Amino acid sequence: MDKHLMILPLRNMVLFPGIQVPLLIGRGSSISLVKEAWEKKEWIGVVTQRDPDKDEPTPPEDLYSVGTMAKLLDLVQEDEGLRIVVEGMQRFRIIKYSESLYYFVAEVEIIKEEEATLEAKRTMQEVKKAALEIVHRVKMPASVAKAGKEQISQISHPGQLADWITVFGPFEVEKKQEILEAIHIEERLKKLSHLLKETEVGMDVKEKAGKEVFKTQRAYWLREQIKAAQKELKEMGESEVSSEISDLKEKIAKAMMPEEALKAAEKELDRLSYIHPASAEYGTIRTYLDWLIEIPWSKSTEDNLDINQAEKILDEDHYDLQKIKKRMLEYLAVRQLKPDVKGQILCFVGPPGTGKTSLGRSIARALGKKFVRISLGGVRDEAEVRGHRRTYVGALPGRIIQQIKKAGSSNPVFMLDEMDKIGADWRGDPSSALLEVLDPEQNFSFSDHYLEVPFDLSRVMFIGTANLEDPILPALKDRMEILRLPGYTREEKLRIAKQFLIPRQLEGHGLSKEQLEFENEAVEVIIRDYTREAGVRNLEREIAGCCRGVAKDIAAKKIEKARIKAASLHGLLGPIKFLSELAERTSKPGVAIGLAWTQYGGEILFVEAARMEGKEKLVLTGQLGDVMKESAQAALSYVRSNVAKFNLETNFFEKKEIHVHVPAGATPKDGPSAGITMFIALVSLLTQRPTRANVAMTGEITLRGRVLPVGGIKEKVLAAKEAGLKTVILPKMNEKDLEEVPKEVRDVVEFKFIEEMEEAIKIALEEN
């Protein structure tokens, strides 16, 4: 049955059928509603507000949809409003609200109380038992508790029992509303049973919490007594706190920390003042405060923005490396025009010994910044970067914050060495931890696990170094500007040795220029016959070996001075360590000279091919990787599919075995760039045309006969030049890479660029 009711909203209360309650009405609209209902002797609908703090609720979103029809039993006018007594009669559900001027009117559906099932009566007994237990445990006057127990025991209807217990139970308004909206009696009792169990558990927790609260209150009063005692001591002329606490407070004030760090420091200092110095926690907090104080939050060095002076310093420290020097001067120019530019994040990639780490020191000197570095080689624990949380014994900040503290400046040049050798295991991935460090959009608020306050790294100039680019995490690589340092030519090594290495070793061994002199020819022999590298590290070691030999003779009074000649190197350094690979030049067919790239620079590579009786089989040896093996198979497949072009018999591979070998079998080799070399070696073998002895080549091949571009062109060309080769065959698409090759090399080496594999045959093979 549907009917219209005037709706009275209530705050923080739910009215149930069969319950009489007094109410104080204060809202103007509610007073008008009650007076009119009293005069007309009509029932009203009582509905609970969802938000009790809302003074003027708006239906239907601010009111629950299920309420209770109520009869007005009494009405008294008071100063603060109307005092009324209502009795709940029946549940109803609001269908829709009608328009009204002063109060809410709604069309409602009356909900009839159903008959109790046998299951409901069984559940009622459990609810009674739980309710009586709670009444017994709740602290209240004995008379009230007795009346409550009697009332619970006397109610026989399950629905009425659920309503009565819910009204007087210690439940939240939302929970009571859920009980009101439970139409089926069995559902109502189950919800109430669940609420009673929660209440019982909550009372257990509250009792336990009460004991903890007592301890906390006692600790609070004891601290207050300590404060009072300290205050009394101060009035008597004694110090309020220890001199150590005063000293720390003064240091914190001078540290000029940002607001968040200052709050953390003051909070920990306050804790420290109440802890006994012999406590282990005292030492932990003291160490943490020392770190906060000593970190250079606002200390920085003034950058040297004089471009000419910076260029002079870079030239003094390093030979060549024009690309990187140009990049540093561009950075200074930008700093002059925009002083607040964010710190640069660079990564130097190149073979060992090419000066990556020393270049970082030189950049710091040129810019007038402090220089710090950490080596990431073998680092596997993420905590090395971010630090350990203070809950661990002996916890410390990560190496980033440690080095910033060591620098004593918030804007140093920070070198991250050996980035390609970072490890990762169950302890974490340090590469991922570096993502925040090396991102200018995030590192202004870098959070170390130990400090737990943000530190601004945006003014730090980060420089990474790596021998290889591929092992670096792609997301990390994306955050850095990659600058490649190629290997040096023999001429460049000679200049570096004369300008930097020899003077440094003379000074390091206590020798003067008058006591020891190196001839250019001797240095060239050391470079050619005693070292094989892209950098100059081993070259410096050999020069140091010469210096030690001369220093020994001078100290023994055997000589007063010496001049190092090529002929005297055998006595100082022993027999030569590297023979020229071109001693293997041969006019026999089946041998081709290739060019390879390694992390130590370029090398020449011989590919040998032989044919013998056997099964139709291709044998590959020389510790070749999968990619290199596939290149050999592709070369053979191309030859077999184009026998007419090479004047070969169709069955040349039938009952034959072809063996391709790459010497230096103990050294692993891989990559696609030897494809064209293997192709030429096979064609030379099958056509019995020997290769020209002064020609080397590099390039990837396809089954369609195309020659694709490869990397490491500069290093490969330098290796060819040092080996005395006159002609180098390169893919056409690598022509642009010759810009990186020094002019003195381009002047003596002839370059042939090819797009098709057959073009290499005319250049590399002798005529029949």
Q: Exposure pattern of 743-759 as b/e (b: 16+ CB <10 Å)?
A: eebeeebebbbbeebeb
**What's the token pair of residue 600?**
């130590």
Number of H helices, E strands in the chain: 26, 24
Which burial class, exposed, middle or buried, applies to 570 when counting CB atoms under 10 A from its CB (0-12, 13-18, 19+)?
exposed
Helix (H, G, I), strand (E, B) or coil at 549: helix
Cβ-based neighbour number of residue 494 at 10 Å? 17
DSSP letter (8 states) at residue 644: T
**What's the token pair of residue 8?**
């009275």
- CA pair distance 636, 654, nearest whole angstrom: 13
Provide the edge-to-edge strand list for the sheet that holds 617-621.
Answer: 617-621, 656-661, 601-613, 591-598, 695-697, 727-731, 750-754
Cβ-based neighbour number of residue 331 at 10 Å? 20
Helix (H, G, I), strand (E, B) or coil at 671: coil
**What's the token pair of residue 509?**
């061994």
Helix (H, G, I), strand (E, B) or coil at 326: helix
- CA pair distance 545, 571, nearest whole angstrom: 11
- CA pair distance 745, 747, nearest whole angstrom: 5
- CA pair distance 286, 294, nearest whole angstrom: 12
**What's the token pair of residue 94?**
């609001």
Nearest to 188 by CA among 294, 70, 91, 308: 91
Nearest to 56 by CA among 36, 28, 76, 75: 28
- Using N-to-C axis directions, what is the helix angle for 399-407 and 280-294, rounded to 10°? 60
Contact (CB, 8 A) for 419 and 466: yes
Catalytic residue among 176, 190, 714, 716: 716
Bridge partners for 483 per DSSP:
348
**Which amino acid, 638?**
Y
**What's the token pair of residue 651?**
């069955």
251 annotated active-site: no
Tokens 């809302």 belong to 54
Contact (CB, 8 A) for 683 and 569: no
* Residue 331: C-alpha distances to residues 328, 344, 361, 369, 485 (Å): 5, 8, 16, 14, 19
- For every residue of 274-324, which 3-state class applies, written as one string? CCCCCCHHHHHHHHHHHHHHHCCCCCCCCCCCCHHHHHHHHHHHCCCCHHH
Catalytic residue among 493, 673, 684, 721: 673
Instruction: List, in order, residues 6 or more apart from 45 with CB less than 8 Å away.
Output: 5, 6, 7, 8, 67, 68, 69, 70, 92, 94, 106, 108
Helix (H, G, I), strand (E, B) or coil at 89: strand
190 annotated active-site: no
**What's the token pair of residue 736?**
């642009």
Nearest to 516 by CA among 506, 530, 529: 506
* Residue 574: C-alpha distances to residues 37, 235, 493, 546, 549 (Å): 119, 85, 21, 11, 12
Handedness of CA 490, 492, 495, 497 (dihedral sign): negative
Nearest to 764 by CA among 603, 580, 591, 630: 591
CA 618 to chain CA centroid, Å, is 47
Quickly list DSSP for 453-514.
SEE--TT-EEEEEES-STTS-HHHHHTSEEEE-PPPPHHHHHHHIIIIIHHHHHHHTT--TT
Helix (H, G, I), strand (E, B) or coil at 362: helix
Instruction: List, in order, residues 6 or more apart from 743 with CB less than 8 Å away.
Output: none
Q: Which residues are catalytic?
A: 673, 716
